[in-house]
Homo-oligomer: A and B are copies of this chain.
Amino acid sequence: MPADDSGAVINPGEDVIRELLIELRELFGDRVSTALSTRELHARDFSFYDALPADAVVMARSTDEVVAIVKACAKHKAPIIPFGTGTSAEGHLSALHGGICVDVSEMNNVIEVNAEDMDVTVEPGVTRKQLNEYLRDTGLFFPIDPGADASIGGMASTRASGTNAVRYGTMRENVLSLEVVLSDGRVIRTARRARKSSSGYDLTKIFVGSEGTLGIITKVTLKLFGIPEATSAAVVSFDTLQGAVDAVISSIQWGIPMARIELLDDVQMAAINDYAGLDYPKKSTLFLEFHGTDAGVKEQAERMAEVCGEYGGSDFSWTADAEERDKLWAARHDAAYSCIALRPGCSVMATDVCVPISRLAECILATKQDIEDAGIVAPIVGHVGDGNFHAQLLIHPDTREEDLRVCGEINRRLIERAISMDGTCTGEHGVGQGKIRYLKAEHGEAVEVMRMLKEAFDPKNIMNPGKMLELAN
């Protein structure tokens, strides 16, 4: 059965799925899988959500194949959930209403590098590490780094960013054009390769961040950047969290063009010390990276040392040497593992608010208070230049119900706090399942406009239903 009268999606019936599978098997043979293990694997992401398996997983290898799948699903009004690497963070892949998971991970060709134009066109299953490996000899690189080795299609779909958005922007700023299969099987290209354009509505940006709910991305054209001549790194700890944030505000206003500005709180630093046998001060700490010329990165680091000094930063250590740089940043890279190590076997409810930077310290401190009041341990890592931070709330299988209750409450209070500060419930992970209930508070009447868009692009509500928007009132 398709959508009922209220607009809510309910699972297609067994008969519908049986017929759909016959059609798909004719086209895709053994690239249609109904094995439970495969289906479960494709329903899981990096979050703590239950993974409800789709009725089948189909491996697609071309735009035409995606079109065929979408047309078959549209005919039977069966949900379609696109899958890249399974590294999203808000339960985006769980098949809440059954249907077909379209795995595009084998659509992983780099189609065209235009070195002079500093752009590249890739299939959606190309991962960011694969892309940078491919680009190595060109002197160019793709900077967006969300941590996980995510697919470019998935990163576009969630409007991902990560550690160096402060310098290079997010997927919003770095996707030049997309090829998209619409919910009725039509294929469009959203823009041309020109660096800028005033030619019509910005379709590219409608699909960037649409989480598979408006169409399926089958090609992505990205901006590239020259690999910097020199890179230097620095670490500095602060007496107060406010001091660390103020130093960053000041440095941005001074125009110090930092590539990464990562904040780790005292709890996170303690966790890393324990995990990796290090002895960093258990204080709010900034990890910094500078890109530029040899003289430029030296100048940036020296200026930043001065600025940090003014705000109570101490032990500012920096290096331009590649090996020492890696050593200096190793602690930052260990952050995720060190959290899991706090309660082995746990998964993470990573909060994701983003606020105007003037309110960031206040927002983090109030959240730390909530965490302390709840009697739990939850390290905090922030992309502080953007005002975005993650409290790593730990969910353990043995205490899942209680953890979800306690952490969910902290997250709820955090999101309401961020929205009251003119911030957003999600800076880079997306809405998925977890943030739907906060959209009205954040966007007001604009949510109705989002619904209107969803209905225009996907009148049958088959594109990743149950994510992003609650259609039934």
Contact with B along A196-227 (1 / 0, CB 8 A): 11111111011011100010000000000110
Whether B446 lies near A196 (C-beta < 8 A) is no
Whether A209 lies near B203 (C-beta < 8 A) is no
In addition to A188-B449, A226-B255, 5 A-B residue pairs with Cβ atoms within 8 Å of each other are A117-B358, A140-B253, A158-B198, A195-B387, A201-B206
Task: Kindly state the separation between the CA atoms of A236 and B177 in the bound complex, as whole angstroms.
Answer: 34
Contact with B along A170-185 (1 / 0, CB 8 A): 1011000000001000
Q: Is A322 an interface residue (CB 8 A)?
A: no
A355 CB contacts on chain B under 8 angstroms: 194
A116 CB contacts on chain B under 8 angstroms: 249, 253, 356-358
Interface-forming stretch among A15-23, A373-381, A417-425? A417-425
Whether B186 lies near A445 (C-beta < 8 A) is yes
Task: Kindly state the separation between the CA atoms of A229 and B194 in the bound complex, as whole angstroms.
Answer: 31
A214 CB contacts on chain B under 8 angstroms: 201
Task: Kindly state the separation between the CA atoms of A367 and B291 in the bound complex, as whole angstroms.
Answer: 39
Cβ 8 A contact of A199, one of B117, B199, B426: B426
Interface-forming stretch among A42-50, A99-107, A260-268, A436-444? A436-444
Interface-forming stretch among A61-69, A313-321, A450-458? A450-458
Q: Is A343 an interface residue (CB 8 A)?
A: no
A469 CB contacts on chain B under 8 angstroms: 200
A194 CB contacts on chain B under 8 angstroms: 354-356, 386-388, 418, 422-424, 427
A interface secondary structure, majority: loop
Cβ 8 A contact of A468, one of B173, B200, B303, B454: B200
Cβ 8 A contact of A439, one of B170, B199, B226, B293: B199
A249 CB contacts on chain B under 8 angstroms: 116
A455 CB to nearest chain B CB (Å): 8
Whether A169 lies near B159 (C-beta < 8 A) is no
Known contacts A198-B209, A200-B431, A203-B449, A424 near B192 by CB under 8 Å: yes
Known contacts A182-B449, A253-B118, A452-B456, A202 near B208 by CB under 8 Å: yes
Task: Kindly state the separation between the CA atoms of A200 and B211 in the bound complex, as whole angstroms.
Answer: 9
Nearest chain B residue, comparing its CB with the CB of A227:
B255
Whether B299 lies near A424 (C-beta < 8 A) is no
Q: A-side interface residues toward B, CB under 8 Å?
A: 114-119, 139-140, 158-161, 165, 169-170, 172-173, 182, 186-203, 205-206, 208-210, 214, 225-226, 228-229, 249, 252-255, 257, 291-293, 295-296, 299, 303, 352, 354-358, 386-388, 418-419, 422-431, 435, 439, 442-450, 452-454, 456-457, 468-469
Whether A197 lies near B427 (C-beta < 8 A) is yes
Nearest chain B residue, comparing its CB with the CB of A246:
B116
Return 6 A-B CB contacts under 8 Å, by A number.
Answer: A186-B445, A198-B424, A200-B447, A200-B468, A226-B252, A293-B299
Nearest chain B residue, comparing its CB with the CB of A296:
B296
Known contacts A118-B253, A456-B453, A456-B456, A159 near B192 by CB under 8 Å: no
Task: Kindly state the separation between the CA atoms of A189 and B449 in the bound complex, as whole angstroms.
Answer: 11
A114 CB contacts on chain B under 8 angstroms: 356, 358
A310 CB to nearest chain B CB (Å): 15
Nearest chain B residue, comparing its CB with the CB of A195:
B386
Known contacts A357-B117, A444-B189, A445-B187, A198 near B423 by CB under 8 Å: no
A201 CB contacts on chain B under 8 angstroms: 206, 209-210, 214, 450, 453-454, 468
A83 CB to nearest chain B CB (Å): 18
Whether A118 lies near B445 (C-beta < 8 A) is no
A190 CB contacts on chain B under 8 angstroms: 446
Whether A435 lies near B299 (C-beta < 8 A) is no
Task: Kindly state the separation between the CA atoms of A351 and B137 in the bound complex, as whole angstroms.
Answer: 37
Known contacts A198-B430, A199-B435, A203-B450, A419 near B169 by CB under 8 Å: no
Task: Kindly state the separation between the CA atoms of A161 and B196 in the bound complex, as whole angstroms.
Answer: 9
Whether A172 lies near B202 (C-beta < 8 A) is yes
Cβ 8 A contact of A423, one of B158, B193, B388: B193
Known contacts A426-B199, A449-B188, A193 near B443 by CB under 8 Å: no
Whether B456 lies near A198 (C-beta < 8 A) is no
